[in-house]
Structure 1
């Protein structure tokens, strides 16, 4: 029993000896303390001091960007199909044999123009017979009126002749209507398609002859989710990109909104109208539609990485100038508007020209923290232009939503290929067919920014379009 009690004592003594040896070794290998009251000697040839760590008392290094102003559109993307403003398949009401075709395939026709004539010899004979009967009935009735005035016949004979005259007039009208059914005329101005009949063909009633398309204006039908039904209204603009016509864009005017939502897809149907007097678009084309609900020429935007979300609230770290010339931070709550790739609109909380921290927010623990700004894009300090001169002019360098170079206004059509002089004159003459019949309030175009990107007049009050 005594031998077993020795083991724990030996273990405790061994651990104490090892601990003492380790303490003595660390104390002996540590550098000697500097002399009392003396300053530590800097190592010869030492490089510049590194950036101070947070909480060390020096400024914190952060990246920042300015709040810029750009033209921003509140829009939604969808797809749609083009269709003619008016389209009809010409079909006969009665059967007959074709004797005349007064049009060519793809030819422009006018309203009331005779297109197809059927064999109407029998109907014309009936028409001549009805005219002769009407002439006899008119002569008899006039003679009876003269005789009854002289009391040679009774009034009953005059009434009978008047009834016979009405019957003859009805027979003539019937013969004229029967003969008119054998003539097919154009119901409106348009362009004919490719006919499927020839002279001499016998057609039954309802057979397809040729289609007529009114393409001076084309409709684009598209659908949007139901959450946009409160934003879309008549007279708004929509930008169209056609896959079959790359590099070209067209502008449509919203003309109608379906009051009934699709219960399956929970979407609202919308119809826009495109001026097509140059005949560049054709019915059936596939279109990529960007419905524009509103535009702001002076939207304030910041990089998306500058946002610091906290629950349902959004904050940014704003850089302000201190009294002693230093730069300090201030956490500001902001309201977010439209989002674009890499950028986000701020409707309230910051102003144009303010500097916002885009990287290093986690180093800023509280308001009033001194910071040193590093702009990796332009290597500029707050309040200076990228060239190091005066502050950049407002609106002088707008940034496109996709980060590309500034582009032309989104609602302006891109240049198109040259057309014939006749087509150009036809396109330039007359009013826009899409605006005919629309109310003045619906036809008002949205205000556009003048050249240079600066908004006209005072800045409107900021609001959240969402």
Structure 2
């Protein structure tokens, strides 16, 4: 009986201690709740930009490939040994400028003999004409002398043509590439000598979807953005449109010509191309840094005031989803979810939440530009 009494007393003591500890913890939790309810969240400092309407050039974008207006591999027409190389690799040449001379010593000797025969045949023809006028020789003799003279002249012209073919000149003005032959080398017909490219101006070829056919015409302006450089875009115009559409891609082949001062562009490079349509397009724009990107959609924080102000009188944020369009420079077009004139938070949106009170300090706002030029670009 005494044992049961001692157990009962012990259990009662443990329960009493636990009850006391629970009461103390309950009082502490109530105190923390009351304290948190009495705390006021300090407004977050933000920068603000106004959604505004502007007009952007209405453009069609594509990726194009550059092609020389005139370009070829200069090659030998006839076999023969290289006697003279008259150009330096990489230099600019004029149309008709001598590039390479093959050995024509035999042809020059044959030409001298042909000139002599042509002169002799010409004198014989003149005498035959005089004698024919005096009825000393017949018409058949005169015809033979005329044929002999024409054959002599034709032989001379044939040898002249061979010498001209072995005297290789630039067919048009352009820039030469790397030399592919050496002096003393025997060339075969069709063997490449050097690349010659006329690159100022230069063509750009690109494709556009078939639904834009009715908006395209020659003379429309284009801008090319070289991906290999950080230079300004290069302006040009459309010069040709293919009459047919590619049946595999349902796209139209377009060719434009670009100014290439300084030869920044080279054949074979690819560039980003924008075709400028006649009418600029009205768009609603905001800074790209104002957009909070998330898997469930893009959103912005709009600045609300008046009835939506916090207890401290500060404006509060309202998060709203937006539909975005084209991005240009530091701005992005908004296609839906926002109205012109609404103020949106322009920086640091990842640390904001819906209903948060804010204060505005645009001294911290960066300069937003359509064509930014970073100093370390």
Shorter chain as denominator, the TM-score bin is: 0.5 to 0.7
Q: 1:74 aligns with which of 33, 58, 73?
A: 58
Instruction: State the match for 2:310 in structure 1.
Output: none
Instruction: State the match for 1:221 in structure 2.
Output: 205
- What secondary structure does 1:152 align onto? coil
Q: 2:277 aligns with which of 284, 287, 293?
A: 293
1:250 aligns with 2:234: yes
Mapped to 1, the partners of 2:217 and 2:117 lie a distance apart of 60
1:405 aligns with 2:365: no
Matches within 5 A, 1:20-39: none
- What secondary structure does 1:123 align onto? helix
| Aligned-CA RMSD value | 3.1
Q: 2:252 aligns with which of 268, 273, 291?
A: 268
CA shift, 1:404, in A, is: 8.1
1:141 aligns with 2:107: no
Instruction: State the match for 2:80 in structure 1.
Output: 96
Give the number of the structure with larger relative contact order, counting CA–CA contacts within 8 Å between residues 6 or more apart.
2
Q: 2:92 aligns with which of 83, 105, 108?
A: 108
Matches within 5 A, 1:7-406: 68-296=52-280, 299=282, 301=284, 339-340=325-326, 343=333, 358=339, 405-406=368-369
CA shift, 1:293, in A, is: 1.8
Mapped to 1, the partners of 2:206 and 2:326 lie a distance apart of 23
Change (3 A) 1:153 1:221: same
Report the TM-score, using the length of structure 2 for normalisation. 0.64
Report the TM-score, using the length of structure 1 for normalisation. 0.52
CA shift, 1:358, in A, is: 4.6
Mapped to 2, the partners of 1:242 and 1:270 lie a distance apart of 18
For the Cα contact (< 8 Å) 2:50–2:343, is it kept in 1? no
Instruction: State the match for 1:57 in structure 2.
Output: none
For the Cα contact (< 8 Å) 2:244–2:252, is it kept in 1? yes
- What secondary structure does 2:206 align onto? strand
For the Cα contact (< 8 Å) 1:71–1:295, is it kept in 2? no
- What secondary structure does 2:266 align onto? coil
Instruction: State the match for 2:301 in structure 1.
Output: none
5+ residue gaps, structure 2: 1-48, 287-323, 347-365
Mapped to 2, the partners of 1:260 and 1:247 lie a distance apart of 34
For the Cα contact (< 8 Å) 1:130–1:172, is it kept in 2? yes
* 1:442-465 deviation per Cα after TM superposition (whole angstroms, max 9, x unaligned): xxxxxxxxxxxxxxxxxxxxxxxx
Mapped to 2, the partners of 1:260 and 1:374 lie a distance apart of 47
Structure holding more strand per residue: 2
For the Cα contact (< 8 Å) 1:238–1:252, is it kept in 2? yes
Number of residue pairs the alignment of both structures matches = 265
Change (3 A) 1:126 1:357: closer
